Amino acid sequence: MRLHSPTLLLAVVLVACGADAPLLPALPTSPPPGASPTASVAPGPPPPDASPTERNADQRARDDARAPLAKALTDAFSNFAPTLSRDRTKLLFGSRRDGNREFYLSDVASPSAAPVLLTGRSDRAGGARFSRDGRSVLFTRDTGADENYRIYRVGLDGKDETCLTPGPTLRRSLPYEPRKKPGTLVYGQRDVKSPSTEIVVQLPRGAARVVATDPGPVNVEDVTDDGRHALVSRRSSSSDNTLLELDLASGKTRRLYPEEGKKAVVNEARYSPDGKRAYVAADDGGDGQFLFALDIASGAVRQRYRQRIRRRRRSLALPCRHVAIGWRSRSTRGTVARRGSWTRER
């Protein structure tokens, strides 16, 4: 019988030709466990050489010549807070030259001589200033960096150190001495766990007396020569400070700057020698930096100087008493006060 269907004939031919061929290619089989692979693995790069580079004679000579400069850079230290004595013969300053924050006394006439270490201990010193009679130095020191500062007195030769606040452990500010009442100390103190601040008057050889308490952080800025009033700044926030005058007898305060309802940053304040004006370094609630002369009785601004902002770093000078006092503002940094950076506006 003949096959007349092309489709059937094609199917018979395909079956006959491909009967012994696999339908799918065989998959490669993995070697059994423990058997080594037939293909060799290319070796990796050699480990890096960690041995130091051998310098030649020229390189050693070059490095030896730079050794003094490298030592000067690695041994560098910072000095800060310089203060002249009233007779302009001694310079009190802070330094980290021994690795710790300490205060030293140097002779102005012998700048190359080694300064006298006044606050030498393992614990750091916070701040320091000359006593009113100029025969000693008052300074603060904490213990183990706990920020609880006590007040000390030390001689100009670094001897006879005495703790003036042996009472409870508190954070105390550097004290002020009224000019006509040497030995009387006015300072602020507070517990580090509480924001409230106590203003203290401590008489010579007498107990400390709290004359006022503020619910927030307060700094003592200055005292009058008769010791009756003090300038204090209340820090409500970083951009909201208030300068007050405190009656040290009654504990009452009076607002001086800024006006009620306004905000400003008060950087520093000092009484004039007669106590009738306050020199205030502050802003006006904006970016401008000013030096104000305030009338203490009325709080009115009698004079106003605006700082001329320049590109190079500058510091502002607050003229007060016998020595100009340098301070750092938010917009400027520096340590050296310069004249000619103010423009009188009133």
Backbone angles phi, psi at 15, to 5 degrees: -65, -40
The confidence score (pLDDT) of residue 43 equals 82
The confidence score (pLDDT) of residue 84 equals 96
The confidence score (pLDDT) of residue 26 equals 56
The confidence score (pLDDT) of residue 30 equals 59
The confidence score (pLDDT) of residue 206 equals 77
The confidence score (pLDDT) of residue 335 equals 33
The confidence score (pLDDT) of residue 37 equals 56
Question: Going residue by residue through the chain (346 aa), what tens digit of pLDDT does each one get?
Answer: 444 444 444 444 444 444 454 545 555 555 566 555 555 678 888 888 888 888 999 999 999 999 999 988 888 889 999 999 999 999 999 999 988 999 999 999 999 999 999 998 889 999 999 999 999 999 999 999 999 999 999 999 999 999 999 999 999 999 999 999 999 999 999 999 998 999 999 999 878 999 999 999 999 999 999 999 999 999 999 999 999 999 999 999 999 999 999 999 999 999 999 999 999 999 988 888 999 999 999 999 999 999 876 654 444 444 444 334 343 333 333 333 344 566 777 6
CA proximity to 143, closest of 129, 123, 125: 123
Backbone angles phi, psi at 95, to 5 degrees: -160, 155
Backbone angles phi, psi at 10, to 5 degrees: -65, -40
**Exposure string for 182-205, b = 16+ CB within 10 A, e = fewer:** ebbbbbbbbeeeeeebbbbbbeee
Amino acid residing at 317: A
